[in-house]
Structure 1
Amino acid sequence: MLYPNFIRRKLNLFRSRVPRALMLTLIISCLGGLSAEIHQKPLLAKNQSAKNAWVYAAFPVESFQAYTSGFGYRNSPVDGSWSFHAGIDIAAPLGSYVRNWWSGRVVELSDHTACGTMIKIQSEQWTHVYCHLMGTVGTSPQGRYLIDREGGIILWQGQEIVANTRIARVGMTGRTTGPHLHWGLKYGGQYIDPAPVLTEMIRQQQAYYNK
């Protein structure tokens, strides 16, 4: 699989130390020092260079507690089986809000798989997946939707969502042993490790706003 040059460089750089880099990313994100300024600006100017591609992206969980599982093969915490984990798990208190990583369109909603209540958003070649959410998925004459009444959330399939929008809340739906967000990331239709992407996102935001 071919990645953009700046992504490939970071994947190689962080391959041997992803957990430490991701933990730094999570801590920095939760401090919130950059959040207000970053997310009040438009997502991405058309003439913005690739080196600043994620300046206006958002960390996907509020009230971060811990990074609990990485990308790749692992012993499943549910049944102990050796299986591939196509994302990262980020623990947060039950009911914590989940934010949209990057502006895009809701392309799929479901609540009947191991992923639990799930949102899938497409942002050009990127697909981001949010699992184990609160709420249920239904259909109406207007289309398919996710609703979480207590959280004040209603999301429609096909809806355009800007970065940093609250799109759901952390739940325990599907196969899970505790409240967390499972966050998956695809590029060009294939899953990649989200950890280096989040690390690069924070690096870009720090560099951009500390000019």
Structure 2
Amino acid sequence: MSYRLKFRWSRWLAVAATTFLISFAINSWGTIQSHASDLAENNSNNLVAQDVSAIWEQGSFPVENFQSYTSGFGYRISPVTGKRQFHNGLDLAAPRGSYIRNWWGGQATKLSDGNACGTSITIQSGEWQHVYCHLEGHVEDSGNGKYLIDKDGGIQIAQGQNIPVGARIGRIGMTGRTTGPHLHWVLKHNGGYVDPALVLKEMFKRQTISSTSTS
């Protein structure tokens, strides 16, 4: 990773942390830490056989040109239906066409473009699953497998493809059910939803410590 790219990731993560709109559930943090341990120990792709702090230090903030959070994890009044519904992820706003990066190395297990999530990609990293919704482009089935294709963004990802941490996997779009350009980002561990805000907060903390210790 180049110094310039690493600096940009740190800058986006810093902006995200300083504009935090989500309450930090401190009583839940022990669970998140244990999830991180499981990721290090059980990653089936052998991409992260390292200690927990390394996971938080090397994880990638998922959105370039981040602007703000538009909706947090948990129950809310849906801007689309007007009803109280569970929001299973974190919404991160950015200008349409901004690139989205893979949070952690893993395999693209599902590509879809036919539901409320719009054009989306699901990546499996050991016991963790991360989903990226409302991307530009579409999904094609070539007969030899599915592909997520965004020609204008230079993106082509095959289902089953291994994707490294920080790789560009799509662009901010407005596909599916959405009221504006943003990434709807979902994290699950062993089938259970995890608040992405908790993960980003710890990433910022660990990456700040790492940057300070190496400067």
Same-fold call, TM > 0.5? Answer: yes
Which residue, 138, 141, 144 being the options, matches 1:139? Answer: 141
Q: Tell me the equivalent position of 1:53.
A: 55
- Tell me the CA shift for residue 27 of structure 1: 5.1
Contact 2:17 2:204 in 1 (8 A): no
Q: Which has the higher helix share?
A: 2
Q: Quick check: 1:183 aligned with 2:181?
A: no
Structure 2 unaligned segments of length 5 or more: list them.
1-12, 20-45
- From 53, 62, 65, the equivalent of 2:64 is 62
Letter in 2 for 1:181: L
Letter in 1 for 2:71: S
Match of residue 16, structure 2, among 20, 23, 26: 26
Q: Residues of 1 paired with 2:180 and 2:64: CA distance?
A: 16
Partners in 2 of 1:62 and 1:28 — Cα distance? 16
Q: Note the residue ranges of structure 1 that are not aligned, 5 or more in a row.
A: 1-22, 30-42
- Asked whether the 8 Å contact 2:14–2:204 carries over to 1, the reply is no
Question: CA contact under 8 A between 2:150 and 2:170: conserved in structure 1?
Answer: yes
Q: Which residue of 2 aligns with 1:71?
A: 73
Q: Identity percentage over the alignment?
A: 55
> Which residue of the partner structure matches residue 203 of structure 1?
205
For 1:191 and 1:160, locate their aligned partners in 2 and report how far apart those are by CA, in whole Å: 23
| RMSD of aligned residue pairs (Cα, Å) | 1.9
TM-score of the two chains, using structure 1 as the length reference:
0.78
Aligned equivalent of 1:91: 93
**Aligned residue type for 2:88:** A
Partner AA of 1:70 in structure 2: G
Letter in 2 for 1:176: T
Residue identity opposite 1:66 in structure 2: S
Give, in angstroms, the shift of residue 44 of structure 1: 6.4
SS in 2 for 1:158: coil
**1:148 is matched with which residue?**
150
1:114 counterpart residue number: 116
The correspondence for 2:161, drawn from 159, 170, 183, is 159
Following the alignment from structure 2 to structure 1, what is the Cα–Cα distance between the partners of residues 18 and 53? 20
Letter in 2 for 1:80: G
Q: CA deviation at 1:25?
A: 5.8
Using the TM superposition, give the Cα deviation of residue 152 of structure 1 relative to its aligned residue in structure 2, in angstroms. Answer: 0.4
**Counterpart contact for 1:74–1:82, Cα < 8 Å:** yes
The CA deviation at 1:75 is 0.4
Q: Are 1:60 and 1:99, in contact at CA under 8 Å, matched by a contact in 2?
A: yes
* Cα deviation digits, residues 128-147 of structure 1 (max 9, x gap): 00000000001113311100
